[in-house]
Amino acid sequence: MSGRGRTMRRRGRPKGTTVPLDRDPQRFEIAVWHGIHLDGHGPYTSAHWAAWVMSRKPIKLEDVEGLLTVAGTEIEFTASSLDKHIDRLARKAESIPVDGDPWLHMSALAIRAFILAQRTRNMEMACYLLDVLIGLGWREVIERLCARIDDMLKSNIPPREGKLGREGQALLNWLRSVTKGEKPE
C-alpha cells in the first residue's frame, strides 16, 4: 500500500501540547528550581542546583589540599548533554508560573523558607518546613536525599583529582593566601 493519502503519525506528544504538572516526571525538580530561584539565584544556577539535589546518584566528598572540601554527584540527564539538560530544565521551569499551580506555589515557598531557616540556623522552623513538604508529597524525595547525605557522611574523603571550576579555583587561591598569612586578593 502506498503512503499517499495516509498521514504519518509522529512519535510522542503532539507539538504544542504539554504534560500537566501533576503528571510531569520533573515536577519536583521544577519546584526546587522555583524555590531556589525565589531565593534570588539565576535560572541556570537554580536549574543546576535542582538537578544536583534531585539526582539519585551518591554524593561524593573530595579534599582539595586540606583547605577545601568539594561535594559532587553525577546528574542524570535526558538531553544529549548535561548543559542541554540544565538549559531545558531552566526554560521549562521559567515557562511554568510559580503561582499557576497551588502545589507548585506551596512547594516553592516551603523550599525558599527552608533555605532561609537553614541560613539563619533556625532548626525548629526547618523541621516544620520539612513537615510541610512531606504533607505536600515530598516524603520519598526527602528520604532519598537524607539517604544520600547519610552515605556521604559515612565515606572517607579522598583527595580531589581534576580541575576545579573558576569560582572554586578562586576560593582555593584565596584560602592558600590566607593560610600563608598573606593579604587576600
CB 50 within 8 A of CB 145: no
What is the Cα–Cα distance from 114 to 101, expressed in whole angstroms?
20
Q: Which of the four pLDDT bands, split at 50, 70 and 90, describes residue 104? A: very high
Predicted pLDDT of residue 168? 84
Question: Which three cell numbers, joined as nine digits, stand for 124?
Answer: 525548629
In a domain, 25, yes or no: yes
CB 75 within 8 A of CB 58: no
In a domain, 1, yes or no: no
Predicted pLDDT of residue 13? 57
In a domain, 14, yes or no: no
Mean pLDDT, the chain, as a whole number?
86
Predicted pLDDT of residue 7? 67
In a domain, 5, yes or no: no
Please check the confidence at residue 144 and state whether its pLDDT lies above 90.
yes
C-alpha radius of gyration, the chain, whole number = 21
What number is the average pLDDT over the span 171-177?
88
| Number of structural domains the chain divides into | 1
Nearest CA to 49 among 28, 29, 24?
29
In a domain, 184, yes or no: no
In a domain, 148, yes or no: yes
Predicted pLDDT of residue 17? 58
Quote the pTM value.
0.75
Q: Which of the four pLDDT bands, split at 50, 70 and 90, describes residue 75? A: confident
Please check the confidence at residue 109 and state whether its pLDDT lies above 90.
yes
Please check the confidence at residue 9 and state whether its pLDDT lies above 70.
no
In a domain, 167, yes or no: yes
Predicted pLDDT of residue 101? 93
Phi-psi group of 106: left, alpha or beta (phi > 0 → left; psi -120 to 50 → alpha; rest → beta): alpha
In a domain, 129, yes or no: yes
- The mean-pLDDT minimum among 69-78, 140-149, 152-161, 171-180 falls in 69-78
Residue range(s) defining the domain that contains residue 33? 21-179
Q: Which of the four pLDDT bands, split at 50, 70 and 90, describes residue 147? A: very high
Measured distance between the N- and C-terminal CA atoms of the chain, rounded to whole angstroms? 75
Distances, alpha carbon 29 to alpha carbons 85, 88, 90, 117, in Å:
12, 12, 10, 20
